[in-house]
């Protein structure tokens, strides 16, 4: 294979890797890659006969090699996740070690795919063993230590006090972080009481949609959009940022009703905001403001922020959105285990999931409408796996998985969420298999690395463009507005209308790896391993 004439300079904090491929070229600022996307198209006639035709489309990808100065605006900055994120970045940036009962702990980003996982890049020339490299050494990615972070919160506590209230981190680390965090004060946020639990009312002392007497005002929603837009612009200007990303990690809202002539398309949505319709949620206000500013917006909670009108608006403005709901512990295991069972030809009959937790997320979810939002996002995680096997599940006969979810608020356990799952499956000839899992996880320490990854990957995807090779005069274009490549980190991944969302964790990870591989001229990963299976 002939080496390229100009070798791309892909230097990171790790040792640079030289990719010798005739599929890539670089002008120093950008990396250009040719890639043939191969797939198969299936046609099914009226009798059920299927015809499979392989397809191949040649693309050229363009990657901007400069990692920009990136700002992150969190909705819910003072919550457990927000205060823990700023704490983690601060500890890593300043190399703050701390003492717990087991000894000295050095700062790290464990739990983050982009910062703490590796990717296979090939096999060793001499030994034939797999060779792995850090995820963030393939192409230039932003370093979370360099994030500039701010955001909104309905509560006014500075982040040092919010960190103490969250009770997530060890005392010795909190003690050292206080001088760094006490300068962080959340921006005033928008608050519509109908959308979150009434038990959150006492926290709402930092809101801008109030009248002169301090009463909450919900009849000027377009002004709320404009206020958030101005906050985004000020944040970008004051910190001299190249890019800004907005991410919702605030309270779970109730589901908004999707109504004709209200939020069913972008025109009706904007009209309804200006008319102060009751079904316009705070998270949708933030999403619309972000889209109008052409700033990516990620929904880390389970509510249906992305009603059809928001998706259409993102399409019109070519602004990235991603959601819904962080996929951290119990649901991530479910997306692996359910896939294993179905792929093994075992038929899960029921999945019963129980949680109890004691942080403010659990407190808010103790309200029925907010719990329903979470229940929907957790249930959907096995949908595509059921649809993948018509032998085990038959739509016409109505066979599916009985999926039961319970969440209880137990203050004593704090941020340590307790999860118990039972998978009851049918085996051959009437046999049954039962798998029970008991999982205890520190909720915010699992969710915070997901935020880091979502921001790092979203920013990276903004620097990737593509065009079809056969249309040489075609301009490079961005990915579709809904970033399905973020699905690895989200329980109920948003998909392009008309397409099926993929929940299987291994499939989601494979898509990310293969994108990185193709951008540097490597073939997509496979495990045929002909080197060891065939005589050469």
Q: For 258-276, write each residue's pLDDT tens digit.
A: 999 999 999 999 999 999 9
Q: How far is CA 444 from the centre of its chain?
A: 15
- pLDDT confidence bin for 4, thresholds 50/70/90: very low
pLDDT average, residue stretch 6-33: 72
Count of domains observed in the chain = 3
CA dihedral (39, 40, 41, 44) in degrees, to 10, reads: -150
Question: In angstroms, what CA-CA distances link 67 with 11, 207, 459, 461?
Answer: 11, 34, 8, 11
Alpha-carbon gap, residue 438 to 197, rounded angstroms: 28
Tens digit of pLDDT for each residue in 156-215? 999 999 999 999 999 999 999 999 999 999 999 999 999 988 888 899 999 999 998 889
- Boundary of a domain, candidates 392, 413, 442: 442
Catalytic residue, from 374, 383, 384, 443: name it: 374
**What rounded mean pLDDT belongs to the chain?**
90
pLDDT at 400: 86
Alpha-carbon gap, residue 532 to 536, rounded angstroms: 9
Residue 536 lies in a domain: no
Catalytic residue, from 188, 236, 334, 491: name it: 491
Catalytic, 325? Answer yes
Catalytic, 491? Answer yes
pLDDT average, residue stretch 150-159: 97
Q: Do 332 and 282 meet the contact criterion of CB atoms below 8 Å apart?
A: no
Q: Both 354 and 411 in a single domain?
A: yes
Determine how β-strand 98-100 pairs with β-strand 30-44. unpaired
For 367, left (φ over 0), alpha (ψ -120 to 50), or beta? Answer: beta
pLDDT average, residue stretch 317-321: 97
Q: Which two tokens stand for residue 130?
A: 């797999």
Q: Both 84 and 54 in a single domain?
A: no
Half-sphere exposure of 325 (CA within 13 A, CB side): 26
pLDDT higher than 50, residue 7: no
pLDDT average, residue stretch 419-447: 91
Residue 335 lies in a domain: yes
Catalytic, 9? Answer no
Catalytic, 106? Answer no
Residue 321 lies in a domain: no
Catalytic residue, from 23, 383, 417, 421: name it: 417
pLDDT higher than 50, residue 306: yes
- Rounded to a whole number, what is the largest CA-CA distance in the chain? 83
pLDDT average, residue stretch 16-28: 87
Q: Which two tokens stand for residue 192?
A: 């519509």
Give the residue numbers spanning the domain of 31.
24-66+463-528
- pLDDT confidence bin for 443, thresholds 50/70/90: confident
CATH number of the domain that residue 181 is part of = 3.40.50.720
Quickly tell me which residue has 């009209």 as its tokens.
271
Pick the more confident residue, 60 or 357: 60
- Boundary of a domain, candidates 394, 410, 442: 442
Tens digit of pLDDT for each residue in 76-123? 999 999 999 999 999 999 999 999 999 999 999 999 999 999 999 999
Question: In angstroms, what CA-CA distances link 516 with 19, 61, 113, 524?
Answer: 12, 11, 13, 9
Q: Do 53 and 226 meet the contact criterion of CB atoms below 8 Å apart?
A: no
Residue 230 lies in a domain: no
Q: Both 345 and 438 in a single domain?
A: yes
Determine how β-strand 30-44 pairs with β-strand 24-26. antiparallel
Q: Both 335 and 437 in a single domain?
A: yes
CATH number of the domain that residue 355 is part of = 3.30.360.10
Q: Both 45 and 86 in a single domain?
A: no
pLDDT at 36: 95
Helix-helix angle 282-292:221-238, to 10 degrees: 50
Q: Both 162 and 130 in a single domain?
A: yes
Catalytic residue, from 160, 324, 325, 384: name it: 325
pTM for this predicted structure = 0.91
CB atoms within 10 A of CB 119: 21
DSSP class of 5: S
* Listed residue (482, 130, 106, 151) closest to 323, CA to CA: 482
Quickly tell me which residue has 């998270």 as its tokens.
283
Residue 145 lies in a domain: no
pLDDT higher than 50, residue 13: no
Q: Both 57 and 103 in a single domain?
A: no
Residue 273 lies in a domain: no
Alpha-carbon gap, residue 86 to 164, rounded angstroms: 13
pLDDT higher than 80, residue 8: no
pLDDT at 5: 42
Residue length of the chain: 536
Alpha-carbon gap, residue 319 to 9, rounded angstroms: 29
Q: Both 425 and 478 in a single domain?
A: no
Alpha-carbon gap, residue 232 to 359, rounded angstroms: 29
Tens digit of pLDDT for each residue in 477-501? 999 999 999 999 998 888 888 888 8
Q: Both 430 and 379 in a single domain?
A: yes
pLDDT at 530: 85
Question: In angstroms, what CA-CA distances link 432 with 15, 347, 367, 404?
Answer: 51, 9, 36, 19
Q: Do 47 and 39 meet the contact criterion of CB atoms below 8 Å apart?
A: no
pLDDT at 2: 37
Q: Both 56 and 123 in a single domain?
A: no
Q: Both 424 and 347 in a single domain?
A: yes
Q: Both 103 and 46 in a single domain?
A: no
Question: In angstroms, what CA-CA distances link 314 with 272, 289, 318, 319, 376?
Answer: 17, 11, 6, 5, 23
β-bridge partners, 480: none
pLDDT at 407: 84
pLDDT higher than 60, residue 1: no
pLDDT at 39: 94
DSSP class of 333: H
DSSP class of 18: -
Residue 201 lies in a domain: no
Which range, 18-32, 90-104, 335-349, 397-411, has the best average confidence (pLDDT)? 90-104
Which range, 225-234, 342-351, 360-369, 382-391, has the best average confidence (pLDDT)? 225-234
CATH number of the domain that residue 517 is part of = 3.30.2360.10
Residue 494 lies in a domain: yes
pLDDT higher than 60, residue 527: yes
In 192-286, DSSP assigns E strands to 243-248
* Listed residue (141, 9, 136) closest to 68, CA to CA: 141
Half-sphere exposure of 78 (CA within 13 A, CB side): 24
- Boundary of a domain, candidates 442, 474, 505: 442
End-to-end CA distance of the chain: 19
């Amino acid at each position: 294979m002939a080496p390229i004439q100009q070798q791309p300079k892909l230097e990171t904090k790790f040792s640079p890797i030289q990719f010798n491929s005739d599929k890539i070229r670089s002008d120093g600022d950008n990396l250009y890659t040719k890639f043939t996307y191969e797939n198969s198209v299936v046609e099914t006639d009226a009798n059920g006969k299927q015809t499979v035709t392989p397809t191949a489309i040649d693309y050229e990808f363009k990657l901007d090699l400069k990692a920009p100065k990136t700002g992150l605006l969190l909705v819910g900055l003072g919550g457990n996740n927000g205060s823990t994120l700023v704490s983690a970045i601060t500890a890593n940036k300043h190399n703050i070690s701390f003492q717990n009962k087991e000894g000295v702990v050095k700062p790290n980003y464990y739990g983050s795919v982009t910062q703490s996982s590796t990717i296979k890049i090939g096999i060793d020339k001499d030994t034939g063993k797999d060779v792995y490299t850090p995820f963030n050494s393939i192409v230039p990615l932003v370093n979370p230590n360099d994030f500039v972070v701010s955001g909104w919160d309905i509560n006014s506590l500075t982040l040092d006090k919010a960190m103490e209230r969250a009770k997530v981190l060890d005392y010795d680390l909190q003690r050292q972080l206080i001088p760094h965090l006490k300068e962080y004060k959340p921006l005033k946020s928008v608050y519509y009481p109908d959308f979150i639990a009434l038990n959150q009312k006492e926290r709402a002392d930092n809101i801008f949609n109030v009248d002169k007497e301090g009463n909450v005002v919900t009849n000027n929603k377009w002004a709320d959009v404009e206020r958030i837009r101005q906050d985004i612009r000020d944040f970008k200007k004051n910190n001299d940022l190249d890019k800004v990303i907005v991410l919702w990690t605030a309270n779970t809202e109730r589901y908004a009703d999707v109504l004709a002539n209200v939020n069913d398309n972008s025109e009706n949505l904007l009209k309804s905001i200006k008319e102060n319709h009751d079904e316009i949620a705070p998270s949708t206000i933030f999403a619309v403001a972000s889209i109008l500013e052409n700033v990516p917006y990620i929904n880390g909670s389970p509510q249906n922020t992305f009603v059809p009108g928001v998706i259409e608006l993102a399409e019109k403005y070519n602004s990235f959105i991603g959601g819904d709901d962080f996929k951290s512990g119990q649901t991530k295991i479910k997306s692996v285990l359910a896939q294993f069972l179905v792929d093994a030809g075992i038929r899960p009959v029921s999945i019963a999931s129980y949680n109890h937790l004691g942080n403010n997320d659990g407190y808010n979810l103790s309200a029925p409408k907010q719990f329903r939002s979470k229940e929907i996002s957790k249930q959907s995680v096995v949908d595509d796996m059921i649809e993948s096997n018509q032998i085990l599940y038959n739509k016409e006969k109505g066979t599916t998985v009985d999926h039961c979810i319970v969440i209880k608020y137990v203050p004593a356990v704090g941020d340590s969420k307790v999860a118990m799952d039972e998978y009851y499956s049918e085996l051959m000839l009437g046999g049954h298999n039962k798998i029970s899992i008991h999982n205890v996880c520190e909720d915010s320490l699992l969710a915070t690395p997901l935020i880091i990854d979502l921001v790092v990957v979203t920013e990276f995807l903004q620097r990737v463009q593509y065009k079809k090779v056969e249309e040489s005069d075609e301009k490079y274009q961005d990915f579709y507005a809904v970033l399905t490549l973020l699905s690895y980190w989200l329980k109920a991944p948003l998909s392009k209308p008309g397409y099926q969302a993929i929940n299987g964790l291994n499939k989601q990870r494979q898509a990310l790896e293969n994108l990185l591989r193709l951008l540097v001229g490597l073939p997509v990963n496979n495990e045929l391993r002909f080197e060891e299976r065939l005589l050469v």
